[in-house]
Amino acid sequence: MTVFGLLRVTPITEGDITADVAAAVDALEAFDVEYETTPMATTLEAESVSELFAACAAAHEAVDAAEVQTLVQVDEKDKSMSAAEKVDAVETELGREAKSDGE
């Protein structure tokens, strides 16, 4: 089974959050998850929901801020399909890459 997650860890501070976000992303390395960070969130892929939640908890706990908000969205399916395969399926349907051409 493949479990997908959308993770957004947000330190609540008036300062720069880059180091805190980097610490949260770095914490994912200790877990058996594939991940990709985007400007808005990190997409995760794991074989079990427990591994996915453990990784998300570690990311949350890695942030050294007085207040941290974490959003986790989980998609658990019986069929096995990787994140790349999901994107490929959409791009096949579109007949192009699933992003703007920048113009």
The pLDDT tens digits of the residues spanning 2-59 come to 899 999 999 998 889 999 999 999 999 999 999 999 999 999 999 999 999 999 999 9
pLDDT at 88: 85
CA distance 100 to 25: 26
pLDDT at 95: 86
pLDDT of residue 101 exceeding 80: no
Q: Is 80 exposed, middle or buried (0-12, 13-18, 19+ CB in 10 A)?
A: exposed
